[in-house]
Amino acid sequence: MWRDQLVAQLDFYWDHSLTPRLDGLTDEEFRWEPVDGCWTVRTVPDGDPVIDWEWPTPDPAPVTTIAWRLAHMAIGCFGIRASSHFGDGSLTLETARWPATAAEALTALRTHHRAWRDGIGSLDDDALLRPVGPAEGPWAEHPMAALVLHLNREIMHHGAEVALLRDLYRAGYQR
């Protein structure tokens, strides 16, 4: 089944490339802003963390922190999609509790990855071929398999950016 290939692709990246690169992530690294004007997850005056966000994204897009990337991967890529396609649809950009620490981000990433992975693991070939539907805007007419492939690419892309930021941080890059 195609489902098995889609899940295997995500699992391989998750197990062999992404999660090993997240081991030992500190809050200092998580919050590190390598350039001025980074998008990140900020704590607002009421104490809640919020993600810097603008749609459409400015061109050129701002440099983002590890905090922003992990929050985007956990909530924007996995969490909201798992909620809208396999849950009750209650998780949105507006209702999300954005992670304020490295530990919170890694927990959110694991939790929402599991929900998304289990959801796509429950689909048969017919479900993977059906259009995604209106919850996905520009993806509405595409088959669910195309959305799964897109999210696999998104996670790989953003995970590589997190790994690069960790390399620069570890190497002592300073602006």
Each residue's pLDDT tens digit, 109-163: 999 999 999 999 999 999 999 999 887 778 899 999 999 999 999 999 999 999 9
Instruction: For the chain, give every domain's residue range.
Output: 2-170
- Kindly report the pTM of this predicted structure: 0.95
Residue 158 is encoded by which pair of tokens?
């953003």
CATH 1.20.120 fits 2-170, yes or no: yes
Instruction: Classify residue 170 as exposed, middle or buried by CB count within 10 Å of its CB (0-12, 13-18, 19+).
Output: exposed
